[in-house]
């Protein structure tokens, strides 16, 4: 096992060009004026597609419209209970990523283990950090059953994960796209679990980007880029002279992966800019009409949704100095008026988002 994680890569002209394009798109998106309702609609679409594409990579058969029904408790698809639980788990993990990012919480092993727990649950279970695997696992070609990659032995996983998290903390001066891409690669290389590694790696990537200021209000989906060319994804991340971790994988030059990753970010960010411009041109007047129909308190609450995907009754009450009971009653009234909808039905942690019309 390597004593210190030191990724080997080069900032090529292609990487540099992508980084500049990412920054340009990010700057334009940050200053593009949109109403909170349009932002909420675009954000929700992005989360649905992120859930769809990330689980689709693992073989999930539900389509975006079916996923939306499952998440809203409006539909059930017999024979696809496993698929339903997968999307519920991934959606819950995405929400957790946004909560940590909003708090600026530094990444820890416990957070990564909690993300994996959410991924492997059904969206309702309380997430308890899952331990790393205790035995060897292998990645095989789905068609030929040949071994594609043999990860490190279980005894080395805890040390490697500790090194990876420490490296992320010590290298936050790197451009966030580079940091996120390397974190994704290293997690997939360690493969610390028997199952759920790909989804957890992609969630870790999202968390690194959000903490680095690259959340774009949750409007983009890197998962779509991966899913539309799975062979490209697997080729880019399968680096090294051997399928065995101990035979060169740790020391391999990962420039190819870094190029692939930042190119995907570029495409995703520029696609967001296009979608936001389209939404601004097509829907601003309708949304402004709706905005003027809201009462003053509702317009005030929209300030929260500029920053957060979901909010609690306590957050809403905090804007007005209300007591918890008053805040809860107000939220109930707004749900009935179809201004808000419930996304987490637990009594203590109930959350709300803007309802799409």
User: pLDDT by residue (tens digit) across 204-226?
Assistant: 999 999 999 998 878 888 998 89
pLDDT at position 248: 83
pLDDT at position 34: 67
Decide if pLDDT at 288 tops 60: no
Cα–Cα distance between 313 and 331 in angstroms, integer? 6
pLDDT at position 239: 85
CB atoms within 10 A of CB 2: 13
Decide if pLDDT at 150 tops 90: yes
Which range among 236-250, 257-271, 296-310 shows the weakest confidence by mean pLDDT? 296-310
Q: Is residue 231 very low, low, confident or very high in pLDDT (cuts 50, 70, 90)?
A: confident
Cα–Cα distance between 233 and 240 in angstroms, integer? 15
Is-contact 264 226, C-beta < 8 A? yes
Domain locations along the chain:
33-275, 295-354
* CATH of 33-275 among 1.10.3720.10, 2.40.50.180, 3.40.50.300, 1.10.3290.10: 1.10.3290.10
Q: Which residues pair with 341 in a beta bridge?
A: 353
Cα–Cα distance between 276 and 103 in angstroms, integer? 26
Decide if pLDDT at 122 tops 80: no
User: What average pLDDT does the segment 114-133 reach?
Assistant: 85
User: Between 177 and 227, whose confidence is greater?
Assistant: 177
Q: Side by side, which strands form the sheet with 311-312?
A: 311-312, 351-354, 340-344
* b (16+ CB within 10 A) / e for 150-161: bbbeeeebeebb
Decide if pLDDT at 278 tops 80: no
User: pLDDT by residue (tens digit) across 50-108?
Assistant: 898 898 988 888 888 888 888 877 888 888 888 998 999 999 899 899 889 988 989 99
Give the best-scoring range by mean pLDDT among 58-72, 136-150, 247-261, 341-355. 247-261
pLDDT at position 43: 77
Q: Is residue 148 very low, low, confident or very high in pLDDT (cuts 50, 70, 90)?
A: confident
Decide if pLDDT at 1 tops 80: no
Share of the chain above pLDDT 70, in %: 91
pLDDT at position 13: 97
Name residues whose C-beta falls within 8 Å of residue 240's C-beta, 6 or more positions apart in sequence.
247, 248, 249, 252
Give the pairing type, strands 139-140 and 351-354: unpaired
Tell me phi and psi for residue 221, to 5 degrees: -140, 105
User: pLDDT by residue (tens digit) across 22-32?
Assistant: 999 999 888 77
Mean pLDDT of the chain: 87
Output the CA–CA distances (angstroms, integers) from residue 346 to 60, 109, 349, 350, in the order listed: 27, 26, 5, 5
Output the CA–CA distances (angstroms, integers) from residue 306 to 50, 268, 289, 309, in the order listed: 20, 21, 18, 8
pLDDT at position 123: 66
- CATH second-level architecture of 295-354? Orthogonal Bundle (1.10)
CA atoms within 13 A on the CB side of 69: 10
pLDDT at position 281: 67
pLDDT at position 154: 96
Element (H, E) at 298: helix 296-307
Give the pairing type, strands 340-344 and 351-354: antiparallel
């Amino acid at each position: 096992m390597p004593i210190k994680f030191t990724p080997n890569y080069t900032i090529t002209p292609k990487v540099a060009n992508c980084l500049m394009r990412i920054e340009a798109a990010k700057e334009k998106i940050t200053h593009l004026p949109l109403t909170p309702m349009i932002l909420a609609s675009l954000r929700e679409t992005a989360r649905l597609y992120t859930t769809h594409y990330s689980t689709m990579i693992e073989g999930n058969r539900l389509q975006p419209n079916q996923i939306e029904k499952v998440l809203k408790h409006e539909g059930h698809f017999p024979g696809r209970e496993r698929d339903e639980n997968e999307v519920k788990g991934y959606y819950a993990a995405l929400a957790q990523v946004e909560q940590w990012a909003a708090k600026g919480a530094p990444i820890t092993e416990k957070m990564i283990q909690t993300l994996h727990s959410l991924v492997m649950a059904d969206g309702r279970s309380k997430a308890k950090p899952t331990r790393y695997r205790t035995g060897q696992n292998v990645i095989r070609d789905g068609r030929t059953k040949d071994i594609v990659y043999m990860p490190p032995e279980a005894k080395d996983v805890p040390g490697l994960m500790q090194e990876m998290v420490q490296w992320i903390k010590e290298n936050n001066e790197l451009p966030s796209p580079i940091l996120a891409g390397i974190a994704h690669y290293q997690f997939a290389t360690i493969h610390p679990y028997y199952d759920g590694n790909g989804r957890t790696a992609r969630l870790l990537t999202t968390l690194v980007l959000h903490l680095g200021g690259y959340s774009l209000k949750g409007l983009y989906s890197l998962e779509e880029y991966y899913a539309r060319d799975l062979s490209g994804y697997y080729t880019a991340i399968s680096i090294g002279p051997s399928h065995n971790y101990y035979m060169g994988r740790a020391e391999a030059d990962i420039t190819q992966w870094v190029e692939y990753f930042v190119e995907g970010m570029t495409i995703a960010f520029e696609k967001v800019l296009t979608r936001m411009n389209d939404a601004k041109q097509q829907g601003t007047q309708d949304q402004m009409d709706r905005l003027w129909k809201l009462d003053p308190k509702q317009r005030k609450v929209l300030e929260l949704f500029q920053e957060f995907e979901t909010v609690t009754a306590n957050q809403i009450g905090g804007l007005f100095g209300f007591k918890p009971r008053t805040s809860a009653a107000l939220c109930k009234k707004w749900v009935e008026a179809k201004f808000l909808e419930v996304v987490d039905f637990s009594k203590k942690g109930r959350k709300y988002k803007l309802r799409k019309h």
